[in-house]
Amino acid sequence: MIGGGLAGLTAALSLAEAGARPLLLEADARLGGRLAGGDTVSLEHGGRSWRFTAEHGIHGLWGQYHNLRATLARHGIAADRVPALREDWVHAEGGRVLRAEAGSAVRRSLFPAPLHYLGLLLRPSFLRMLTLADLIGLPRVAGSLYLALAYDPLMEEIDFGERSVAGLFDGWPVRLRAFVSALMRSGLAARPEEVPLAGFLAFLRFYTMLRRDSWAFDYLPADSGAAVIDPLAAAITAHGGAIRAGATATCVERTPGGWRVRWGEGEAAHAAEAPQVVLALDAQAARRLLAASPDTAARAADMVWPAGLETGVVRLWFARAPRSSAESGICSGEMTIDNFFWLQRFQRDAAAWHAATGGAVVEAHIYGPPEVLAQPDAALIARAAADIQRAHPELRGQLIHQTVRRNPPSHTRFGASGGPRHLAVASPWPDISCCGDWVAYPHPALFLERACVTGVAAAARALGELGLPAPAVIPATPPEPLARGLERALRGVRRMVRKR
């Protein structure tokens, strides 16, 4: 195993459970990749010392995360998750800040998918967010979004060329464009001009368009490293696997019996041979390793590698809590932050802080543009604090502590790409399987669930070659009946147009 993020840990655990004895190599000192825990933040307040664990950013376990949920349940991991109840849409424009609770209106809608977003129009607070132009433009927006029913980029190879989401949004009314753009940025961590159209359609299908319960999700009760990654690593070693952190793979070499993996340099150089190798790196790390290995370099040079995205995470501690009861929200308009999470609503350490002091902790994510992320830490903190206090005027003058974390560009700009030039679970090289949320595999899942799905699939492929029992990938829940019927009808129209 090369790579100790969620995909690599899932694959290693699947191998160990089947009786193989995997050796997992992780370059970083911490396991977990984008789920890894971070440094501890210490804070003195109210005569007490408080400690909070930083992380890459808050993650949720969404309705269609069947394989991840099953893996965690099998080992009793993160069983005390906290269901999401309310998510706000906060829009700043022309000196005003508007807010509407939108999440529950979608997942609890009386209308079946894909009409469930009509539930938003029954909420007076949401209607007040819209202008007359938005109401007139609703049919156009709905028609554009229903493209997601006609195309399934994760299950069929569709060439959208270089088209981005920005073209899809052309001509949309301002507020509805802001709302859908905020949803997209919160999910795909990029601006419309950066998001491939195929990736956006895949996002819509998986997270919201086909089923109301796809939008239901749970929060982890602690940082994702402590809640998920550490228990997964413990389960691997308990089943006979081995883990080496701080071990950067430098080369893979073909041998008569499989592959030799080298890691480290100089006196710290090591090597191990195995009949099967599972590659579980982010796209650019995989590219570097395969390009540096003579047995894989030629084919790797001809492959297409998705770009990575930098992100920023700001945490702010306030002496009091906001009046809003929403745990999280998405932001649009004249705001720097793209989303926010009130940690005292679902994480134990922040909840203890709130119970003792009445204070609150918010985590805000910033996904760009690049010129914003290039600003100094103090500027990012100031802009995030201004956004939060603009949305919650009762918090002005209440800020008592702040931190900022800059994440490297390991978050994939997701494009749902496939074809022979894209790395898939079944790699071009014998006895090498691949996994990760960017790796091609015919399953309609994204991000954490895709990492878990491809991890299970890569392990199954390796176990099959070893003659050991292989785990099966749990399929996604089918669309609701109306969504399925419309999907078939729109695909029929698509086929008819293609013939003509």
Which residues pair with residue 325 across a beta bridge?
A: none
Whether the ω angle into residue 173 lies within 30 degrees of 0, i.e. cis, is no
The answer for residues whose C-beta is within 8 angstroms of residue 301's C-beta and 6 or more apart is 291
**Closest to 171 measured CA to CA, from 198, 138, 208:** 138
Q: What distance in Å separates the CA atoms of residue 210 and residue 31, rounded to the nearest whole number?
A: 34
Q: What distance in Å separates the CA atoms of residue 67 and residue 173, rounded to the nearest whole number?
A: 38
The answer for residues whose C-beta is within 8 angstroms of residue 481's C-beta and 6 or more apart is 112
Indicate the SS3 state at residue 293.
coil
**Closest to 30 measured CA to CA, from 228, 221, 225, 288:** 225
* Whether pLDDT at 104 is above 90: yes
**Closest to 8 measured CA to CA, from 28, 32, 35, 27:** 32
pLDDT at 439: 95
Based on C-alpha coordinates, what's the Rg of the chain? Answer: 23
Domains of the chain: 6-33+224-306+415-466 (3.50.50.60), 44-85+217-222+308-412 (3.90.660.20), 103-211+485-499 (no CATH)
Which residues pair with residue 207 across a beta bridge?
A: none
pLDDT at 3: 98
Q: What distance in Å separates the CA atoms of residue 162 and residue 342, rounded to the nearest whole number?
A: 37
Give residue-wise pLDDT tens across range 268-283.
Answer: 899 999 999 999 999 9
Query: Predicted confidence band at 6 (pLDDT cuts at 50, 70, 90)?
Result: very high
Handedness of CA 81, 210, 454, 194 (dihedral sign): negative
Query: Predicted confidence band at 146 (pLDDT cuts at 50, 70, 90)?
Result: confident
Determine contact, residues 126/105, Cβ cutoff 8 Å: yes
Indicate the SS3 state at residue 183.
helix
* Whether pLDDT at 418 is above 90: no
User: CA 66, 116, 81 angle in degrees (round to 5)?
Assistant: 35
Give residue-wise pLDDT tens across range 321-360.
Answer: 999 889 999 999 999 999 999 999 999 999 999 999 999 9
* Whether pLDDT at 86 is above 80: yes
Determine contact, residues 3/248, Cβ cutoff 8 Å: no
Percentage, residues of the chain above pLDDT 70: 100
Task: List C-alpha distances in Å: 474 to 69, 100, 489.
Answer: 10, 36, 27
Q: What distance in Å separates the CA atoms of residue 84 and residue 474, rounded to the nearest whole number?
A: 24
**Closest to 64 measured CA to CA, from 203, 179, 228:** 203
**Closest to 281 measured CA to CA, from 16, 28, 18:** 28
Backbone torsions φ then ψ of 199, nearest 5 degrees: -65, -40
pLDDT at 420: 82
- Within the chain, how many helices (H) and strands (E) appear? 18, 19
pLDDT at 412: 84
Range picked from 94-98, 99-103, 451-455 for highest mean pLDDT: 451-455
* HEC per residue, 484-499: HHHHHHHHHHHHHHHH
**Closest to 6 measured CA to CA, from 398, 370, 455:** 455
Which residues pair with residue 487 across a beta bridge?
A: none
Q: What distance in Å separates the CA atoms of residue 299 and residue 183, rounded to the nearest whole number?
A: 37
pLDDT at 42: 92
* Whether pLDDT at 139 is above 90: yes
Q: What distance in Å separates the CA atoms of residue 6 and residue 455, rounded to the nearest whole number?
A: 8
Residue at 243: amino acid letter? I
Give residue-wise pLDDT tens across range 469-496.
Answer: 999 999 999 999 999 999 999 988 888 8
Task: List C-alpha distances in Å: 284 to 29, 30, 450.
Answer: 19, 19, 18
The most distant pair of C-alpha atoms in the chain lies apart, rounded to whole Å, by: 75
pLDDT at 500: 67
Which is it for strands 360-366 and 308-318: parallel, antiparallel or unpaired? antiparallel
Q: What distance in Å separates the CA atoms of residue 22 and residue 238, rounded to the nearest whole number?
A: 12
Task: List C-alpha distances in Å: 34 to 84, 122, 368, 382, 422.
Answer: 21, 37, 18, 25, 22
Give residue-wise pLDDT tens across range 377-398.
Answer: 999 999 999 999 999 999 999 9
Q: What distance in Å separates the CA atoms of residue 112 and residue 211, rounded to the nearest whole number?
A: 8
Q: What distance in Å separates the CA atoms of residue 90 and residue 96, rounded to the nearest whole number?
A: 10
Residue at 372: amino acid letter? V
